Amino acid sequence: MQQSPHSPQSQSLSASAVDSAVPLSNLQQTYAVIPRERPYTPLLDRVDSPADLKTFSSAELITLVDELRLFVLYSAGQSGGHFGANLGVIELTVALHYLLDTPQDQIVWDVGHQAYAHKVLTGRRDQLGTIRSKTGLTAFPERAESVYDTFGVGHSSTSISAGLGMSLALRYQGRAQTVACIIGDGAMTGGMAFEAMNDAVQQDADLMVILNDNDMSISCSIGGFSRHLAMLWESGYQVDISDAGEPILCQRPDMQAFDRRKRHKEQRDVPQLEDNLFKAIGFTYFGPFDGHNIPELLRVLSLAKQVKGPVLVHIYTTKGKGFAPAELDPVGYHAISSLPLEGSQLLESSKLKAAKDSTVANKPSLKYSQVFGQFLCDKAAQDNKLLAITPAMEEGSGMIEFAYEFPERFFDVAIAEQHAVTLAGGMATQGVKPIVAIYSTFLQRGYDQLIHDIALQNLDVMFAIDRAGLVGEDGATHAGVFDFAFLRCVPNMLIAAPKDENECYHLLNTCYEYQGCTAVRYPRGVGTGATITQPAQIYNVGEAVVESVLGQDDAPKKLVLLAFGTMVETAQQAAEVIAKSPLFASSCQLQVVNARWVKPLDTNLLETLVEQGITHIATLEEHMIMGGAGSAVNEYLLNESAAFKLHRPAICNIGIPDRFIAHGSQAEQLTDCGLDVDGVVKQLQQLLS
């Protein structure tokens, strides 16, 4: 064995992590502390590509699993990111890359939360600490990053469709290559997965689907499908695979370590596993198997990949496997932030600043999801017609308290965005007021339903759209930068964009009280720290607010900044910079307008401003320029404004350019787009010059 560059003498695992390593079984170790120092991983350091695994013995693979799990723990501590799902598939990832001839054989990950170990084994080990940073690895598999990343992912339930497409194309070209799709039980609740399985049977495709069943998506999996999987596990039986590739019904080894589904236990007869859902569809089914048992995985997968036609291998795993706190709290450890720098001046100063801010404000700033959660509970206490729907985003959307206080009015439909939207439409026909809480990037998946099932019938449904705009380290797959464009072109839709937490609360109330299709669009994270005032207000629909006027009325240049949502504060800061600059201080008047509504626009205010002699107009939005709020302003001025035809002020649209924005912090992404204060100032100076 070659000498590792990370030898025990040079850089070893921290003592606290070593002390916390205790045997979980004869196969794995578990840890209670995330190591701060690069652990000693002599076997892992020998793996620069999957081909290097072929020389490992079974015993070495088991040791490699421990080293890989510890390395992922260390790297996640350095960079933050998705956590529990990655720890849960360490054994599966090793087994797949050991058995398959990648990249000729195709591994397709669903969602991609769990691909960190895959990245390590495919030549990106020393880069894993850079994941999610601006110039580092992407948070999800991406074709441009590696030949081993066969399909770009980020949204759920896509792997079987993509894998089937690969399999059919390979068959057409006469290429005998294995295609393996890994999909979680949460992602399997998405209807797209079943559409693909139906077609795989129709096509009699050679396709291996591995169902990674950890009873979790981000939240706990729910519904009839989850209960069906629980029944298969609780039966105590499994469909094993013979050396000839034939299904064999036998008693499953007792695995008490996986007794996490007690909430599903009921008195049942022993089920006929050969008649399960997958078998009924037409798949050859094997399982359930222990997904953390390397010898068992190697045996099962090596036989399963030789079976012709569509095959499903059902394994059960533990989210957060090998890290004790994550096993106890898989939801809390779905993703983590990087470890703070202990004792650093940066950390101490941030603590002091936080303490000072807390003293001044008496309480920390709320996240926008918390503002929504507060509104939901407040309004539900007043109006018993309110019902709330989420497609598996209870925690992320801030609905935990509502679900606890009003369980009969809370509907988590699992990862099924299309169903969530049409479900709300059906509810709205019966005299109740449904609110669909959904991330902007996921609302894209329910677009046809929004048009056909909600807006076309002008049903009384409100959309609370979270994670709008740039979202930071998750990158382009999760950015919510298209919603203005795809919503404002739909008749009957109202679209509100709050500037801060307080306005968000009152716009939620305004849109709730409106009879028809409405959407309130707000960003990820905290806002400006604005205090929420009570009681809830009802704003005038389509009415903007002039935030400030800087400069003299007789200035030869008059610039109006029409800002939408998060850009109001940026517009105000940029206006103040320009107002103080020697070049424009005496020659330009600036007005900052909180547009507040994307649809309908405040056309009365626009007409008034242009009639008053405005010489320049700039629109600002954290959204694509093409088709966005600025485009709506342009369309009105060019097509309907009589004042614009007379005065012809210069117009500039400031927003996200026509490209996908790479991952990085939100601040870095804003700078990249010219949407930070400096970037906006430069664009405004160019407009005025």
What would the pLDDT profile of 98-113 be if each residue is shown by its tens digit? 999 999 999 999 998 8
Verify that 429 and 490 share a domain, yes or no.
yes
The region of weakest confidence among 352-361, 456-465, 558-567, 626-635 is 352-361
The neighbouring-strand residues paired with 650 are: 616
**pLDDT bracket for residue 535 (50, 70, 90):** very high
Asked if residue 529 lies in contact with residue 499, where contact means CB atoms within 8 angstroms, the answer is no
**pLDDT bracket for residue 584 (50, 70, 90):** confident
Instruction: Give the model's pLDDT for residue 514.
Output: 98
Q: Which helix (H) or strand (E) holds 391?
A: none
Verify that 560 and 500 share a domain, yes or no.
no
Verify that 167 and 207 share a domain, yes or no.
yes
Is 66 labelled as part of a ligand binding site?
no
**pLDDT bracket for residue 202 (50, 70, 90):** very high
Q: With the CA atoms of 678, 679, 682 and 687 taken in that order, what torsion angle do they form, in degrees rounded to the nearest 10?
A: -140
Is 412 labelled as part of a ligand binding site?
no
Q: What is the CATH number of the domain that holds 248?
A: 3.40.50.970
Verify that 511 and 597 share a domain, yes or no.
no
pLDDT of 324 > 90? The answer is: no
Is 149 labelled as part of a ligand binding site?
no
Burial group, residue 414, by CB count within 10 angstroms (0-12, 13-18, 19+): buried
> Does residue 137 form part of some domain?
yes
| C-alpha–C-alpha distance, residues 673 and 309, integer Å | 48
pLDDT of 347 > 60? The answer is: no
| C-alpha–C-alpha distance, residues 302 and 299, integer Å | 5
Q: Which helix (H) or strand (E) holds 670?
A: helix 666-673
The region of weakest confidence among 86-95, 224-233, 266-275 is 266-275
> Does residue 374 form part of some domain?
yes
Entry pTM = 0.82
Verify that 517 and 551 share a domain, yes or no.
no
Asked if residue 239 lies in contact with residue 287, where contact means CB atoms within 8 angstroms, the answer is yes
How many domains are there within the chain?
A: 3
> Does residue 219 form part of some domain?
yes
- Render pLDDT for 142-157 as a digit per residue (tens, 0 to 9): 999 999 999 998 888 9
Instruction: Give the model's pLDDT for residue 217.
Output: 53
The listed range with the strongest mean pLDDT (316-320, 330-334, 414-418, 434-438) is 434-438
Instruction: Give the model's pLDDT for residue 577.
Output: 96
Instruction: Give the model's pLDDT for residue 605.
Output: 97
Instruction: Give the model's pLDDT for residue 221.
Output: 60
Verify that 311 and 380 share a domain, yes or no.
no
| C-alpha–C-alpha distance, residues 1 and 409, integer Å | 61
Instruction: Give the model's pLDDT for residue 230.
Output: 82
> 184: closest CA among 305, 84, 266?
84
Verify that 93 and 195 share a domain, yes or no.
yes
Verify that 379 and 443 share a domain, yes or no.
yes
- Render pLDDT for 457-493 as a digit per residue (tens, 0 to 9): 999 999 999 999 999 988 899 999 999 999 999 999 9
The catalytic residue positions are 319, 417, 445
pLDDT, averaged across the chain: 87
3-state secondary structure of 66: helix
Is 187 labelled as part of a ligand binding site?
yes
Is 113 labelled as part of a ligand binding site?
yes
pLDDT of 13 > 50? The answer is: no
> 474: closest CA among 104, 149, 133?
133
Is 527 labelled as part of a ligand binding site?
no
For 67, 96, 200, 382, 450, the CA distances from 90, given in Å and listed in that order, are 10, 10, 27, 49, 39
| C-alpha–C-alpha distance, residues 211 and 226, integer Å | 12
Q: Write b or e for each residue in 16-34: b if 16 or more Cβ atoms lie within 10 A of its Cβ, otherwise e.
A: ebeebbeebeebbbbbebb
Is 95 labelled as part of a ligand binding site?
no
Triad 662, 663, 667: Cα angle to 5°: 105
**pLDDT bracket for residue 260 (50, 70, 90):** very low
pLDDT of 591 > 80? The answer is: yes
pLDDT of 92 > 60? The answer is: yes
Q: What is the CATH number of the domain that holds 558?
A: 3.40.50.920
Among 493, 523, 553, give the residue marking a domain's end.
Answer: 523
Among 488, 523, 558, give the residue marking a domain's end.
Answer: 523
pLDDT of 337 > 80? The answer is: no
| CA dihedral for 431, 433, 439, 440, sign (positive or negative) | positive
Instruction: Give the model's pLDDT for residue 216.
Output: 58
> 370: closest CA among 333, 395, 387?
395
Asked if residue 618 lies in contact with residue 652, where contact means CB atoms within 8 angstroms, the answer is yes
The region of weakest confidence among 43-47, 344-348, 409-413 is 344-348
> Does residue 540 form part of some domain?
no
Verify that 195 and 250 share a domain, yes or no.
yes
> 419: closest CA among 52, 128, 157?
157
Segment 645-661 mean pLDDT: 96
What percent of the chain stands above pLDDT 70?
A: 86
The β-bridge relationship of strands 588-594 and 557-563 is parallel
| CA dihedral for 574, 571, 372, 479, sign (positive or negative) | negative
Is 417 labelled as part of a ligand binding site?
yes
pLDDT of 285 > 90? The answer is: yes
Triad 489, 493, 496: Cα angle to 5°: 100
Instruction: Give the model's pLDDT for residue 205.
Output: 95
Is 186 labelled as part of a ligand binding site?
yes
What percent of the chain stands above pLDDT 90?
A: 69
DSSP conformational letter for 123: I
Distance between alpha carbon 669 and the CA centroid of its chain, in Å? 17
Is 334 labelled as part of a ligand binding site?
no
- Render pLDDT for 25-83 as a digit per residue (tens, 0 to 9): 344 688 878 888 999 999 999 999 999 999 999 999 999 999 999 999 888 877 777 67
Among 294, 320, 336, give the residue marking a domain's end.
Answer: 336
**pLDDT bracket for residue 256 (50, 70, 90):** very low
Verify that 138 and 180 share a domain, yes or no.
yes
**pLDDT bracket for residue 431 (50, 70, 90):** very high
| C-alpha–C-alpha distance, residues 151 and 159, integer Å | 8
> Does residue 618 form part of some domain?
yes
Asked if residue 153 lies in contact with residue 138, where contact means CB atoms within 8 angstroms, the answer is no
**Higher pLDDT among residues 75 and 596, named by residue:** 596
**Range(s) of the domain holding residue 331:** 15-336
Q: DSSP states of 75-97 as a string?
A: HHHHH-EE-HHHHHTHHHHHHHH
222: its two tokens = 């729910």
Asked if residue 90 lies in contact with residue 320, where contact means CB atoms within 8 angstroms, the answer is no
> Does residue 303 form part of some domain?
yes
> Does residue 317 form part of some domain?
yes
Asked if residue 592 lies in contact with residue 571, where contact means CB atoms within 8 angstroms, the answer is yes
Instruction: Give the model's pLDDT for residue 75.
Output: 86
| C-alpha–C-alpha distance, residues 272 and 289, integer Å | 16
Instruction: Give the model's pLDDT for residue 274.
Output: 55
Distance between alpha carbon 310 and the CA centroid of its chain, in Å? 29
pLDDT of 350 > 50? The answer is: no
| C-alpha–C-alpha distance, residues 195 and 167, integer Å | 16
- Render pLDDT for 207-218 as a digit per residue (tens, 0 to 9): 999 999 987 555
98: its two tokens = 């050991």
Verify that 519 and 553 share a domain, yes or no.
no
Verify that 267 and 235 share a domain, yes or no.
yes
pLDDT of 630 > 50? The answer is: yes
Q: DSSP states of 331-382 as a string?
A: TTTSEEPPPP-TT-HHHHHHHHHHHHHHHHHSSPPPBHHHHHHHHHHHHHHH
| C-alpha–C-alpha distance, residues 318 and 297, integer Å | 15
**pLDDT bracket for residue 139 (50, 70, 90):** confident
The neighbouring-strand residues paired with 462 are: 435, 518
Placement of tokens 């078998």 in the chain = 279
> Does residue 463 form part of some domain?
yes
Instruction: Give the model's pLDDT for residue 275.
Output: 67
Q: With the CA atoms of 519, 522, 524 and 530 taken in that order, what torsion angle do they form, in degrees rounded to the nearest 10?
A: -150
Q: DSSP states of 594-611 as a string?
A: E--EEES--HHHHHHHHH
